[in-house]
Structure 1
């Protein structure tokens, strides 16, 4: 689905994305929600902004003016890599970050994708062929992706890891995930905090001018080229005159209405994303400069109602060995689908009006004492969930969120189904049939693996509502295969690059876990290559 720039520009603030998260300062002073609409529709150079009444307002009047070579907007993984790379290549760099700290969503992942990396060579791991990786993505995305974007990324991925290692980033190990080749590079301790901390330290070592709590509010354009950016700091409006600007502002996943509008997800029960500050700032500013829109997708997770990240409840969300029922009280997919791809689990659950994980008292005791058979995020398989009992009690007492609760418990399946608002008679039939299959040790209906066929017989019975979390958006700003921002005719807008979550043309459906770590890997790759290109452009 191609994004309509009119809808995006008029809706970014009006739909609550900016104001709801305390980010109204991300719009220029005096500008309204449709600030860029006239620009997008008329193609005027972005030297002025139209207010709601049609009055033309000049660009912000700066309180501070700074001259640099490269402006980087956004201090997540991609922005940090862009700023460091530009500085390494001789550019004077300023980085604007709207939040109080650097790192963004880069603190979340466990690792990144790469092939032909020094770490793989060290471990004697043979990388898969490029065409096999791309073929997997072609099939996953129904052949709606373009070869060149993946080809450039894969070719540069090993060099990106080498670059990170030179900076002092620790890559702990390289493994397969969900049956993928051995391409997933784990950070130190199985997560990427050390990587982000190392990148942050490098910004200081390289003398990059970092401004926190300073959202960029618009770009500056002269003769069709982008030549700087305005940002709103605690000290006033900053104008950074530059020869190149790099957009890495984190996408739009923090605006649930935009996720619904642009990606098509039912956001009724969508959870607050990991970084609600990501509300499409980069897209808005790029569109004001005449950038074209590109189809967008989301990296989604299926999880229970409520913020359970980092808890034992998260481990059992959409996990195994549970029975899954929908609003009809029916099974709807083989529940061990997550052993193939958690992305596919999300799709299966999204196709239902309601989706629940069901298990019994005996399985509850096993979870507490032995853990779950599948790894979930940073919790390893067969790790006792020692906090689960207390967390479930708290969840049972928690109020409903938009008509849904996190957890339900009852002494009978009928009562549990009634609490969850699903067809009780059909739920009883489904549980009885499922228990029969568990006794046989063969799932004749869906083909679920025997090791996950655990009967639901012993009261009390538990139910968990599964819903959607959009962890980050993918794409929105149109780019060429080298991350130059382009207009509707495909012509490069001079001086403007976009990458990371702001501009990724790697997917048209959703995140493919069979190429694990591809988003973080792309953030590093796009940031590193954009920084170098912007520095060279500034010198020229």
Structure 2
């Protein structure tokens, strides 16, 4: 069904977290508001986020968590190699706590605040997960009078004298199109993680990149903006979820709760490449994006486990706390069962052998026996002189049978593609706004990062989605007021 009207104060393209926040804010500003969602359901990848970043929120004040915003800014700029926009990141940090408080005032519930692994204590965990948060925002926006249409995509932005004048929309069920009139469009389409051609520009090993997105983040927003002269900008940052089972048959989400996957990636006893050579310190997986980058330096990667490790993880407990996985029990009590079932199914990503020589032969990992011998030597010495793995995580590989799990890299999102200013207005190649066009969420989040997602600032994707969606509307609303005064 097409929208009820032909003209709106603001049209929001995308019904994820950023788009929903923009819709609520637009109705607070008394703007006639339409949200276009090309899928059949709302929330996008916001349904799967854990929480939102904030500094100086009500929860942090209750917990007496104090963060120096200038120190945080300096740390994140260094992490990005100063590719992040300092003014933009500074503004986000400054407003982030207020955004958390505002969401809380709307009825979005948070269960706790703190760090994730070795990070700043900034993630405000959504009670009930991201789905509960986006459901509440959708309810608030609809009750306030925002209009939503599903299975409706934006095909083209329309300009009059260089200013946004409308958008061509398409009914995905019937193929029919229609022109809508609006002076303001906010692009909130979720980035480009589900667009293989755009991902291929980022890495030569894109075949081993596995999207765990909702499938709708195909770069629509950036391509709409590029069509009206927006700058191609900062497409280097993909949020890697560390290693993931490289299954050529089943989609990656099938393995998200797998104890085999968690053992092979999070415990990371020994990783080898296509020649059977060790190539990194496996505790790199403490930073999931660094782990993803390390895996992609090799043509193929296998995680090696022995039976002693499987027995320990199954019956005793974990070697290290699981930090970047949906699976976080005290021990992997189903690990042996999962391994047996997977082997019985003849899945290509898992290979078992009674000896290291046999495992090497099955997978053509010529150097595997020598690699394991060297690794066990380092483990016995208690010092990884080769790559610097923490001594506490040095676990020998000695007892057959032996297992090899092939790894790819999971991708939660891809950030950027558009350059925006501190109002979230989209900029052209000369650094000036395309009048009336704004971007929020992952479409604009390249402003915050370098070539690696900011794992050190947990909750930043969701936090920025909320901040930028609200910031865009407040900015265009001020523009409207200024125009009225003039």
TM-score > 0.5 by shorter chain: yes
Partner in structure 1 of residue 364 of structure 2: 421
1:169-197 CA-to-partner distances (Å, cap 9, x unmatched) read: 111111122322321211115x3222122
Is the aligned partner of 1:462 residue 2:403? yes
Local SS of the residue matching 2:370: helix
Offset from partner CA, 1:448-492 (integer Å, 9 cap, x none): 223222211111111111212232111101212221011111121
* Corresponding residue for residue 494 of structure 1: 435
TM-score normalized with structure 2 length: 0.91
- Whether 1:349 aligns to 2:291 is no
Q: 1:131-170 maps to which residues of 2 (within 5 A)?
A: 131-170=70-109
Tell me what 2:281 maps to: 334
Question: Does the 8 Å CA contact 1:78/1:524 hold for their aligned counterparts?
Answer: yes
Give the match for residue 371 of structure 2.
Answer: 430
Give secondary structure in 2 for the equivalent of 1:319.
Answer: helix
Structure 1 SS opposite 2:209: coil
Residues 1:83 and 2:23 are matched in the alignment: yes
Q: Is the 8 A contact 2:424 2:438 kept in 1?
A: yes
Give the whole-Å Cα distance in 2 for the aligned partners of 1:272 and 1:151.
30
Tell me how large the CA RMSD over aligned residues is. Answer: 2.1
Instruction: For residues 360-413 of structure 1, give each alpha carbon's deviation from its aligned partner in whole angstroms, at most 9, with x where no partner exists.
Output: 11211232334533224454644333443343344435677xxxx321111111
Task: Report the Cα offset of residue 428 of structure 1.
Answer: 0.5
Of 303, 306, 311, which aligns to 1:360? 306
Instruction: Identify the residue that residue 44 of structure 1 maps to in structure 2.
Output: none
Which residue number in structure 2 is paired with residue 293 of structure 1? 232
Alignment of 1:33-182 (within 5 A): 66-127=6-67, 129-182=68-121
Aligned to 1:271, the other structure's residue is in SS state strand
> Are the structure 2 counterparts of residues 449 and 82 from structure 1 closer, same or farther at C-alpha, using a change threshold of 3 Å?
same
Q: CA–CA distance in 2 between the matches of 1:132 and 1:464?
A: 41
1:30 paired residue number: none
Q: SS state of the match for residue 364, structure 1?
A: helix
SS at match of 1:241: strand
Equivalent residue for 2:349, pick from 372, 390, 406: 406
Give me the whole-angstrom Cα distance separating, in 2, the residues matched to 1:471 and 1:430.
Answer: 32
Unaligned runs of 5+ in 2: none
Cα offset for 1:165?
0.4
1:125-163 CA-partner distances (Å, limit 9, x unpaired): 112x22222222222222222211111111110111011
1:305-361 deviation per Cα after TM superposition (whole angstroms, max 9, x unaligned): 13212322332242115111122322212111223x121111111111222211111
Inter-partner Cα distance in structure 2 for 1:83 and 1:535: 13
Q: Equivalent residue for 2:413?
A: 472
- Corresponding residue for residue 59 of structure 1: none
Cα pair distance change 1:63/1:75, threshold 3 Å: closer
Q: Which residue of 1 aligns with 2:220?
A: 281
Q: Hey, what's the Cα distance between the residues in 2 that align with 1:64 and 1:393?
A: 56
